[in-house]
Amino acid sequence: MTNAAISPRILDAEGKLCGADPELDKGLLRELFVHMMRVRCVDQRMLKLQRAGRVGFVGSMLGLEAAMIGSAAALEGRDWMWSGLREGGAALMRGLPLSEYIAQMYCNSNDTAKGRQMCNHLQHAASHYPSWSSVIGTQITHGVGAALAAKRRGLDEVHAVYFGDGATSSNGFHSGLNFAAVWKVRCVFLCVDNGWAISVPSKAQTAAPYVDKGKAYGMLAHEVDGNDVLATYQATKSLVERARAESEPALLVLKTYRMLGHSSSDDPSLYRDQAEVDEWAARDPIKRYAGYLTGLGVLGAGEQEEIEAKLLEEIDDEIRTQEAADPMALKTLVEDVYAEVPRHLRRQYNAFIEVAERHGEARPGDGAFPL
């Protein structure tokens, strides 16, 4: 099973063309760069907020900008994205408003998940972006099921299902890929292979290349350099178009590296060598792409700094707005399960409000029924 349109790498570490020129429109080339920069800027700010104790938890996207932007840019609006652990930056590109992103980080009254999700677990219904699950691999079977439902309804939407290398040992991965191939659904599986599942290196997890696992289930599978936004974009586009036209799933392994820990609760210096981190820093996806765009004349001198300053200003404004927003209303704790809040939940809620009032944490209206 081969596909001539897929190049494992298009840009070398300096950003020089080393594969077939995808001949993309200059406007698109620039847009991809701005989206990658937005991911980096949001990441920087969220990490600072977490370290300052202002938000609870962050899964950093540093180093993964090309993998997420290159792949998600290949999708159409009608397609779906099933997130693994850190594709929030791609969701911003596909329509998740920055205000909702940051509100979810604060779990405040603008959080569309109503504070019921862990911080940094995003969702956006309008851009076909179901809520993340930290339970590894569960989104894989959900994505396959949704793709089967779409196929039965005669829709040709494609479901991009993201997961980390660690998820390839989950039940969801094996049952999901198996059924996707048997039912021939329009799924493109994107394995973000950053070499580590928290502290477990790939060689301790599996003796087989990740790409072979797709082939084992009978689907087309490729690996590309996930730090190369052009190779990632082109490969994903080719597999998405094929999935749409032929109703065939595929696996694409994006070889990359997470520059920081698994999350803000992790200290990667305890399990991996600095030499490895330095090696990957030299392959930084943004530096490399900026080199290519500069050579093409798409990015002028000082423009990267201007783009960065503008993005940071936009993010800082939104942080100020969301920090000032009210917390989520306490009554949301007992809403949305039953049409009417049942008596036993009302009793518990009333007891809870009493405690909240005693601690000065209840706000006007928190205790009012009907909820």
Ligand X SMILES: Cc1ncc(C[n+]2csc(CCOP(=O)(O)OP(=O)(O)O)c2C)c(N)n1
**Tokens at 344, concatenated:** 């036993």
Question: In the set 70, 164, 214, 226, which binds ligand X (CB under 6 A)?
Answer: 164
Among 110, 134, 178, 321, binds ligand X (CB under 6 A): 134
Taking CB under 6 A as the criterion, the residue among 213, 262, 307, 371 binding ligand X is: 262
For the segment 120-179, give every residue that binds Mg ion (CB under 5 A): 164-166
- The least distance separating ligand X from the CB of residue 136, rounded to whole angstroms, comes to 4
Spatial CA neighbour of 234 closest among 39, 2, 4, 31: 4
| Tokens 């749409």 -> residue | 244
Q: Which is nearer to Mg ion, 157 or 193 (CB)?
A: 193
Asked if residue 167 binds ligand X (CB under 6 A), the reply is yes
Q: Is 258 in the site for ligand X (CB under 6 A)?
A: yes
Which two three-digit tokens encode residue 331? 């009554």
Does the footprint of ligand X cover residue 65 (CB under 6 A)?
A: no
Taking contact as CB under 6 A, which single stretch among the options 30-38, 109-117, 134-142, 357-365 is the one that binds ligand X? Answer: 134-142
Of residues 197, 221, 240, 371, which one binds ligand X by CB under 6 A? 197
Which span sits near ligand X by CB under 6 A: 70-78, 129-137, 299-307, 349-357? 129-137
Span from 26-34, 165-173, 294-302, 357-365 in contact with ligand X (CB under 6 A):
165-173
The answer to whether 166 contacts ligand X (rule: CB under 6 A) is: yes
* Chain contacts with ligand X (rule: CB under 6 A): 85, 134-136, 164-167, 194, 196-198, 258, 262
